[in-house]
């Protein structure tokens, strides 16, 4: 353990500053972050910047995010001195366009916060300076084209390689110092683990090796034993990142042959409760977390697949990273009688702690339990809506939690005869029933919506006999964008959070 800790300290010293080597040609895309840009270059000031932030020893990234009143914009309103955000060039007034590879320029504020928190200890933000954002919006009417993203399936890969009789199944081409590229053995362990041909080696077990010497890399691989987790980028990924001037950052990675995955548990309270105990204690990374213990045999938690010692990662899609015990308990209680939890077992907890990535980044490939708490039914095809901007209607049935919540939020837009869905809680009844932000609410329990007293009437729905029956119509793609940037929603609020 002492040798491993010393190795990590050595790595930290090696990766503090990037020095350009003219013999290597272009700047290293992994380390060409905002702090290394030439601020005198006017082009750098008029294009999106990439800020790769790390929580390091802190509990947050060191910036405050605010949504402006009446605008679908997410503004950095403060950057704390001495934090990762300041060191990586994040500035007050920057607009956040994307979180990792997810464009969030027109997402709801709560969704953006959720993406950032779900990223765990590292996050890649795509941002645009305030004055540039305002000029582009005035000239183009949209900033969507400004946000570069990687194409489908063109992502770095996090590959877990298990040594066999042929070793790890790769060799390394390099000079005395990185960067390094891998040469694969046909049919070897690395190839089977998803390492692409000609891949560039970025990290070994969560530690950047871009500036390692050959001997340091060999030592790191030897210390890995019979298993090693590699962050790699194939030639097409490297080329696309170079074209987009995007760093080959770990939060962009997709998982290949990973030894562990997060698990989604949907639990409905029984007569004796859920059947588990939540405790706050330190995890393998030394940080406090919320752990599940005393899982009672035969009760709902046990039947849903919960194991004693599981670490709680999220509640109803909301990351609990950094939350205290009381906050987490309140979040669970707010779900009522049906809760959706994302957990990792001790082995998965150690793995994701080692690679310094959140399990939630790899949830899309994890098996999720089917929920019996909501169902979606389609109306006959002839039941359509003729109103401008709305597509075919559909019918959804929702069941509330113990506190009466259905997991969505409504708003009214001036001059439009419908209510709209402005927020959907991940993992909640509304999300499971297929509600989407921007959906128009046409009927509630067969009652037509569109009158002046709709909001007052809807407040009484918590007492109505479930299920809640909604008749919805989705916004057409060309009209959804205009609605999102609408300037007159009655329930719009100003919010600011430390991230």
120-163 pLDDT per residue, tens: 899 999 998 876 766 666 555 554 446 788 877 789 999 999 99
At residue 341, φ and ψ (nearest 5 deg) are -120, 140
Beta strand ranges found along 272-430 (DSSP E): 277-282, 288-293, 311-315, 318-319, 338-344, 375-377, 390-398, 408-412, 419-424
The pLDDT of residue 434 is 78
Distance CA 431, CA 367 (A): 17
CATH for 386 = 2.30.42.10
The pLDDT of residue 138 is 55
- Same-domain check for residues 16 and 98: yes
The pLDDT of residue 399 is 67
- Same-domain check for residues 347 and 455: no
- Same-domain check for residues 48 and 138: yes
The pLDDT of residue 324 is 85
Mean pLDDT by 10 residues, the chain (499 residues): 44 37 35 36 63 82 76 82 91 90 82 87 90 62 64 88 92 80 92 92 94 90 94 93 90 91 91 91 82 93 93 90 85 87 93 93 53 27 38 71 63 69 73 79 77 59 66 68 46 48
Lookup: tokens for 329: 């308990």
The pLDDT of residue 122 is 94
The pLDDT of residue 13 is 37
**152 in any annotated domain:** no
- Same-domain check for residues 78 and 188: no
- Same-domain check for residues 171 and 307: no
- Same-domain check for residues 37 and 63: yes
Q: pLDDT, tens digit, for every residue of 243-297?
A: 888 999 999 999 988 999 899 999 999 999 899 999 998 887 777 889 999 999 9
**499 in any annotated domain:** no
- What are the percentages of helix, strand and coil residues in the chain, rounded to 5? 25, 30, 45
- Same-domain check for residues 237 and 348: no
Distance CA 362, CA 310 (A): 17
Instruction: Give the residue carrying structure tokens 């990223």.
Output: 119
Element counts in the chain: helices (H) and strands (E): 14, 27
- Same-domain check for residues 12 and 116: yes
Could you tell me the residue range of the domain that residue 164 belongs to?
157-256
The pLDDT of residue 178 is 74
Write down the pTM of the prediction.
Answer: 0.65
Total domains in the chain come to 4
The pLDDT of residue 196 is 93
- Same-domain check for residues 21 and 127: yes
**49 in any annotated domain:** yes
**491 in any annotated domain:** no
């Amino acid at each position: 353990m002492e040798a491993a800790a010393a190795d990590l300290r050595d790595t930290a010293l090696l990766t503090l500053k990037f020095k350009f080597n003219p013999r290597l040609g272009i700047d290293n895309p992994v380390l060409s972050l905002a702090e290394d840009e030439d601020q005198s270059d006017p082009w750098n000031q008029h294009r999106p910047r990439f800020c790769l932030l790390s929580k390091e020893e802190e509990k947050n990234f060191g910036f405050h995010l605010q949504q402006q009143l009446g605008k679908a914009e997410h503004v950095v309103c403060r950057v704390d001195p001495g934090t990762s955000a300041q060191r990586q060039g994040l500035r007050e007034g920057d607009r956040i366009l994307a979180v990792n590879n997810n464009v969030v320029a027109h997402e709801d504020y709560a969704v953006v916060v959720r993406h950032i928190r779900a990223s765990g200890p590292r996050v890649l933000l795509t941002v645009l300076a305030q004055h540039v954002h305002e000029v582009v919006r005035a000239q183009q009417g949209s900033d969507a084209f400004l946000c570069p993203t990687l194409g489908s399936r063109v992502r770095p890969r996090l590959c877990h390689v298990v040594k066999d009789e042929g070793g790890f199944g790769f060799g390394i081409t390099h000079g005395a110092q990185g960067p390094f590229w891998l040469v694969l053995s046909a049919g070897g362990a690395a190839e089977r683990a998803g390492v692409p041909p000609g891949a560039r080696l970025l990290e070994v077990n969560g530690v950047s090796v871009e500036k390692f010497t050959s001997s340091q890399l060999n030592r790191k691989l030897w210390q890995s034993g019979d298993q090693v987790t590699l962050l790699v980028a194939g030639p097409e990924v490297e080329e696309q990142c170079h074209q987009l001037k995007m760093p080959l950052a770990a939060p962009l990675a997709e998982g290949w042959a990973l030894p562990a995955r997060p698990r989604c548990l949907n639990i409905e309270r029984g007569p004796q409760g859920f059947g588990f105990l939540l405790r706050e204690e330190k995890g393998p990374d030394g940080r406090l977390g919320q752990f599940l213990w005393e899982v009672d045999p035969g009760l709902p938690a046990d039947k849903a697949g919960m194991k004693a010692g599981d670490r709680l990662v999220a509640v109803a899609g909301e990351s609990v990273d950094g939350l205290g015990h009381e906050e987490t308990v309140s979040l669970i209680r707010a779900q009522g009688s049906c809760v959706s939890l994302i957990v990792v077992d001790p082995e998965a907890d150690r793995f994701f702690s080692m690679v310094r990535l959140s399990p939630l980044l790899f949830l899309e490939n994890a098996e999720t339990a089917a929920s019996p708490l909501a169902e979606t039914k389609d109306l006959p095809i002839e039941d359509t809506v003729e109103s401008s901007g709305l597509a075919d209607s559909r019918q959804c049935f929702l069941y509330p939690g113990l506190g009466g919540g259905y997991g969505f939020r409504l708003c009214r837009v001036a001059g439009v005869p419908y209510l709209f869905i402005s927020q959907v809680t991940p993992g909640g009844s509304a999300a499971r029933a297929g509600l989407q932000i921007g959906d128009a609410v046409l009927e509630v329990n067969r009652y037509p919506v569109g009158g002046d007293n709709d909001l007052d009437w809807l407040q009484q729905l918590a007492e109505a006999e479930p299920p809640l029956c909604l008749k919805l119509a989705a916004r057409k793609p060309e009209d959804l964008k205009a609605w999102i940037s609408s300037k007159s929603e009655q329930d719009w609020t100003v919010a600011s959070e430390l991230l």
